[in-house]
Structure 1
Amino acid sequence: MQLLFILIGAFIVFILSTLTGGGASLLLMPLVAVVVGVKAVAPVMAISIGMSSTSKVALFWKHIDWKLFAWLFPSTIIGSILGARLFASLSSDYLQILIGLLLVSTIFQLRQKPKSESRFKIKAWHFAPMGLVVAFLSGLIGGVGPLMNSAYLNYGISKESLLGTRSANAILLHSTKIISYAYFGFVTGEVLKYGIMIGVTSMIAVYFGKMILAKMSDNFFRQIVVVSMVLSGVLMLWKNKDFISAFIYSI
C-alpha cells in the first residue's frame, strides 16, 4: 500500500512539476523517505527525476536553448560531483533553510509584469556560476526545487523553452549525481527499484502535463512558477521546523 501511495503521489506531483517548471523533488522527498529511509532519498530522486527529465526533453526538444545548455554543461558536472562527495559527511540543515528562504522571497515577483524590464537582466553566461552553485547544492541535499526558475524567467524564454532547457540540464545533473552516489556506495538494489518505478510513473505523468501546459498562457505559467517556488520554500522550511525551533531556543 505504501508503494501504491507513493506511485500515485509521484504521478500527481510530476504533472504539477511539468506545469510549474520543477520542484517535484521537494514534494516527493517526504513520501519516499517513509519507504526507503532518509539517506536513500537523494539517490532515488536522482534516478526518478533523471528519467522524467528524459521524457521532457523528448517532448520539448525543439524548444531547448542550446546556448544556455552549453554554459550550464561544465558547471553542472563539477558542482554535482562536489555536492555528492560531501553528501555523506556534511549537515545540510542550514543550507535547506537558506534555500527555503530564497524560494519564499520570490513571492515579490508576483507583482512584476511579465513584459517589464528588470533592473538586472540575466545573460546566458550568468547561468555558468549559478549552475555551479545549484548543482553543488542539489548533489549535497538531494534537491533544491525550482531555485533557478527566476533566472530562466528573467532571461526571457518561453514556457516550453524553460522546461526543455531545464530538463536537458537536469539529465546531465542527475546522471552525474547517480554515478557519484554509486561510486560512494549509496546506490543499492532497493534504491534502483524505487527510483526506476517512480521514474516510469513520472514519464507517463509528464506526457499528461504537456497536454495541459499547451492550454496555458505564458503569463499564467509565469505566475504558477513563482507560486510553486514560494510553496517549495515553505515546504522546505516546514521540513526543518524542528531544527529551526531548536536553533531559535538556543539563541
Structure 2
Amino acid sequence: MQLILVLIGAFIVFILSTLTGGGASLLLMPLVAVVVGIKAVAPVMAVSIGMSSTSKVLLFWKYIDWKLFAWLFPSTIVGSILGASLFASMSSDYLQLLIGLLLVSTIFQFKQKKKPRFKVKAWHFAPMGLVVAFLSGLIGGVGPLMNSAYLNYGISKESLLGTRSANAILLHSTKILSYAYYGYMTGEVLKYGILIGVTSMVAVYFGKLILAKISDNFFRQIVVASMVLSGVLMLWKNWGTVEGLI
C-alpha cells in the first residue's frame, strides 16, 4: 500500500514538476523516505529523476539550448562526483537550510514585472552548475535552484525544460555511477528507482500536454512560486536544525 501511495504521489509530483521547471525531488523525498529509508532516498531519486529527465529530453529535444549545455557539461560531472563522494560523511542540514533560504528569496527577485538588473550570460552557468551539481550529489536534490538563472537568461518554457533536463541526465547519471562505486546503489534502490522512474515518464507526457496550453508569463509565475514552495518545504523539513540555532 505504501508503494502504491508513493507511485500515485510520484505521478502527481512529476506532472507538477513539468509545469514548474523542476523541484520533484524535494516534493517526493518525504514519501520515498517512508518506503526505503532516509539514506536510500538520494540514490532512488537519482534513478527516477534521471528517467523522467530522459522523457523530457525526448519531448523537448528541438528546444534544447546546446550552448548552455556545453557550459554546464564539465562542471556538472565534476560537481556531482565531488558531492556524491562526500554523501556518507558530511552532515547536510545546514546546506539544506541555506538552499531553502535561497529558494524563498526568489520571490523578492521576481516580485516586480521589470527585468532583473543582473543579466545572466551563458558562461555563468559553468560555475553555477558546479555548485548545484555538488549540492545535488551531497544531499540528493536541490529543487529548482537554478531556474532563476534560466529565467534571467531569457529562454522559453520549452527551452528551459529541455535544456535543464539534458543537464539533469548528465547530473543524475554521474551520481548513479558515483553512488554505485561507494556501495549505495543496491537492488532495492534500483527497484524503487525504476518503478518511480517509469511512473514519472508517463506523468511527464501528460505534463507536456498541459504545458502547451499555458503562456510563457504564467509559466514564469508558477516557476517562481514552485521555487518559493520548495524553499519553504526544505526549511520545514530541517526545522529542528533551525530551533537548535535559535
**What TM-score bracket applies, with the shorter chain setting the length?**
over 0.9
Q: Please name the residue that 1:29 is paired with.
A: 29
How far did residue 195 of structure 1 move?
0.1
User: Is 1:103 aligned with 2:103?
Assistant: yes
How far did residue 112 of structure 1 move?
2.5
- Determine if contact 2:2/2:35 at 8 Å carries over to the other structure: yes
Q: Please name the residue that 1:87 is paired with.
A: 87
- Determine if contact 2:81/2:174 at 8 Å carries over to the other structure: yes
Paired residues, number: 246
TM-score of the two chains, using structure 1 as the length reference = 0.97
Q: Please name the residue that 2:116 is paired with.
A: 118
Distance (Å, rounded) in 2 between the aligned partners of 1:110 and 1:165: 22
User: Is 1:136 aligned with 2:121?
Assistant: no
- Determine if contact 1:109/1:226 at 8 Å carries over to the other structure: no
Q: Which runs of 5+ in 1 are unaligned?
A: none
How far did residue 98 of structure 1 move?
0.1
Structure 2 counterpart SS, 1:111: coil
Q: Please name the residue that 2:38 is paired with.
A: 38
Q: Please name the residue that 1:159 is paired with.
A: 157
Structure 1 counterpart SS, 2:214: coil
Instruction: Letter of the 1:157 partner, please give it.
Output: I
Structure 1 counterpart SS, 2:209: helix
Q: Please name the residue that 1:240 is paired with.
A: 238
How far did residue 108 of structure 1 move?
1.4
- Determine if contact 2:109/2:116 at 8 Å carries over to the other structure: no
Instruction: Letter of the 1:33 partner, please give it.
Output: A
- Determine if contact 1:106/1:229 at 8 Å carries over to the other structure: yes
Instruction: Letter of the 1:68 partner, please give it.
Output: L
- Determine if contact 2:42/2:141 at 8 Å carries over to the other structure: yes
- Determine if contact 1:46/1:142 at 8 Å carries over to the other structure: yes
How far did residue 100 of structure 1 move?
0.2
Structure 2 counterpart SS, 1:147: coil
- Determine if contact 1:19/1:221 at 8 Å carries over to the other structure: yes
Instruction: Letter of the 1:16 partner, please give it.
Output: L
User: Is 1:213 aligned with 2:211?
Assistant: yes
Instruction: Letter of the 2:2 partner, please give it.
Output: Q
Query: C-alpha deviations, 1:70-118, integer Å up to 9, x for none?
Result: 00000000000000000000000000000000000001134232xx332
How far did residue 119 of structure 1 move?
1.4
Instruction: Letter of the 2:94 partner, please give it.
Output: Y
Q: Please name the residue that 1:127 is paired with.
A: 125
Distance (Å, rounded) in 1 between the aligned partners of 2:18 and 2:36: 25
Distance (Å, rounded) in 2 between the aligned partners of 1:212 and 1:160: 12
- Determine if contact 1:46/1:177 at 8 Å carries over to the other structure: yes
- Determine if contact 2:104/2:229 at 8 Å carries over to the other structure: yes
How far did residue 242 of structure 1 move?
1.2
Q: Please name the residue that 1:170 is paired with.
A: 168
Structure 1 counterpart SS, 2:3: helix
Q: Please name the residue that 2:48 is paired with.
A: 48
Identity fraction in percent: 87
Query: Following superposition of structure 1 onto structure 2, how do residues 224-235 of structure 1 map, counting pairs within 5 Å?
Result: 224-235=222-233
TM-score of the two chains, using structure 2 as the length reference = 0.99
User: Is 1:78 aligned with 2:78?
Assistant: yes
Q: Which runs of 5+ in 2 are unaligned?
A: none
Structure 2 counterpart SS, 1:50: helix
